[in-house]
Amino acid sequence: MTEREMIARWVRQWAEAAPALEAIRREEIRTADNLKVLAALEPAFNHALRSLPMRESSGMVEMQRVFRKLRG
């Protein structure tokens, strides 16, 4: 089997699997427990709030300043 044939086969297999994978994705979204997910992420969020330095801006102003310098 040539590389081109292998790629074509791979594409066909993914195309055939797409409807089943989409059904799984939709079911996972439908049954997701958002409160449980948020509770699991809360410690990471709180850690970031405690350990990352607070900034006055998102960094966009500084980035634009650097771009102006690079432009000349």
Residue appearing with tokens 């996972």: 28
Separate counts of helices (H) and strands (E) for the chain: 3, 0
Per-residue model confidence as pLDDT tens for the chain (72 residues): 999 999 999 999 999 999 999 999 999 999 999 999 999 999 999 999 999 888 777 888 889 999 999 997
Domain that holds residue 67: 3-71
pLDDT given for residue 70 in this prediction: 93
Separation of alpha carbons 1 and 24, rounded Å: 32
pLDDT in tens, 24-41: 999 999 999 999 999 999
Put simply, whether the predicted model's pTM sits higher than 0.85 gets the answer: no
- For the chain, how many structural domains are there in total? 1
Q: Is 52 helix (H, G, I), strand (E, B) or coil?
A: coil
* Per-residue tokens: 13: 């297999």
User: ∠ at Cα 40 (28, 47), nearest 5°?
Assistant: 140
